[in-house]
Structure 1
Amino acid sequence: MDNKINNNITDDLLYKNSIPIGKKKILIAAIELFYEQGFDRTSTLQIAKRSGISEGTIYKHFRSKRGLLNAIIDPMISNLLSNCNDSFIVDTDINIKEVISTMVKNKMDYIYNNRKILKILMIELLTNDTIYSEVKSRCNANYPLISSKIHMFLKGKNISDDDFLRTLVSDLLYGFFKMIFCNNYGRDQLKYEMEDIAEDVLNYIN
């Protein structure tokens, strides 16, 4: 598997970039509020109160609430697609069980680390035609590459690319929904979830 996959875009956005502390506080507050109550139900006044930064400064950095949202989800959209592309690089020196286990671990780590922004993005995909069209266009452009990698990954298996992808994505989405809806979901639960999903996908292939 490719060890260069970046599993924590949220930390990169908030902590690894050299950005002013006030801008960082705004991003942190916005992510929390958009995650908790949605973009439409969150006002810039609420973000200002949560962050301890004035509304004027929010507009100075991001121009609008929509600009603030874009600053949060745009890096995720770009990285999500590259992350998917890197998921099916098979190391021929390890067996299929290890490949599946590593793949699922990378995906679930990615989802867990970025679950708040992913939830915000998912809601926007369902309600914002512009964002939906952008992501759809990028996915359509990337799908042939992903499909060819899956085809190579499944070489010798009597399973279609679409059926494998449907099984994997369904299991990952189920894991994602548990993360955002179950109380006290932590690293221990994540570990068990990874093992269950890996076993499910492996059983499907075999």
Structure 2
Amino acid sequence: MENNNLMDEVAKILQKSNKQTVKQKKIIEVAIATFAEKGYSNTSTSEIAKKAGVAEGTIFKHYGTKENLLLAIMVPFLKEFFPTMADELIGELMDDERSFEDFLRAFLINRITFLSENREIFQVVIKEMIYKEELRNELFPYISKVATERLIKVIEIFKQRGDIKDISNESIIKMLSTVIGGFFVSNLVFLNKHSVSEKEIEEVVLFILNGLGQFH
């Protein structure tokens, strides 16, 4: 993704959608623009309603809460564009010279930068997935499938180079998902940090290498 502001990226593809009514589309357009400009927490439903030229009750009628309004924006976007985002990321980070250690470090730095700049959105989506089983069942298997398909290709490359132990891909993916996913969520959601230090990233890299890396 060329732009780290996720709302700006969402706005680019909104015009392709014909699934909302005219009124709903206007609410979504205004919400995206305002979230991008002011941040999620600094945007109120009353402000969105005023800019969209609708009653605040109309937003509550269609979406219920500000959290649900954000999910109405993010869930379709993630389901349509997550594969492309994943392919772009892998293409950006992989090359013939990069070791598994360098790949891990570059991946963590890249994703921490992206998630930090979209921290409020990430927090809402993760918290809603934790507490809403229906949303969790809709998003998690899909994201997991897309990520797994691409990770297996990356893992096989580093296995062939001798950078990763020859253990099952399933075990490797479980380890990476648990460690990296836990690192992102614990720091940016539960601890509510605005950023993560280079030292913390380096500790995660070394932790994973001690479990997966080949040392000669």
TM-score using structure 1 length: 0.65
Q: Which residue of 1 aligns with 2:157?
A: 152
Name stretches of at least 5 consecutive residues in structure 1 with no aligned partner.
35-45
Cα distance in 2 between the residues matched to 1:136 and 1:181: 19
Q: Which residue of 1 aligns with 2:18?
A: none
RMSD: 4.1
Greater CA drift, 21-30 or 172-181: 21-30
Cα distance in 2 between the residues matched to 1:26 and 1:104: 25
Name stretches of at least 5 consecutive residues in structure 2 with no aligned partner.
16-24
Distance change >3 Å, CA 149–CA 192, structure 1 → 2 = same
1:204 aligns with 2:208: no
Counterparts of 1:15-94 in structure 2, within 5 Å, are: 22-23=30-31, 24-25=33-34, 31-32=40-41, 47-48=45-46, 53=51, 56=54, 64-65=62-63, 66=68, 68-85=70-87, 88=90, 90-94=94-98
CA contact 1:105–1:194 (8 Å) conserved in 2? yes
Q: Which residue of 2 aligns with 1:180?
A: 189
Q: CA deviation at 1:92?
A: 1.3
Q: Which residue of 2 aligns with 1:39?
A: none
Cα distance in 1 between the residues matched to 2:82 and 2:208: 21
Greater CA drift, 171-180 or 4-13: 4-13
Question: How many residues of Structure 1 are paired with residues of Structure 2 in the alignment?
Answer: 190
Q: Which residue of 1 aligns with 2:9?
A: 12
Which residue, 199, 213, 216 being the options, matches 1:192? Answer: 199
Greater CA drift, 194-203 or 143-152: 143-152
TM-score using structure 2 length: 0.62
Cα distance in 1 between the residues matched to 2:197 and 2:82: 20
Q: CA deviation at 1:76?
A: 3.8
Cα distance in 1 between the residues matched to 2:40 and 2:85: 21
Greater CA drift, 4-13 or 64-73: 4-13
Which gives a bigger RCO, structure 1 or 2 (Cα 8 Å, sep 6+)? 1
Cα distance in 2 between the residues matched to 1:94 and 1:60: 52
Q: Percentage identity across aligned positions? A: 14
* Letter matched to residue 107 of structure 1: R
Q: Which residue of 1 aligns with 2:20?
A: none
Cα distance in 2 between the residues matched to 1:150 and 1:5: 26
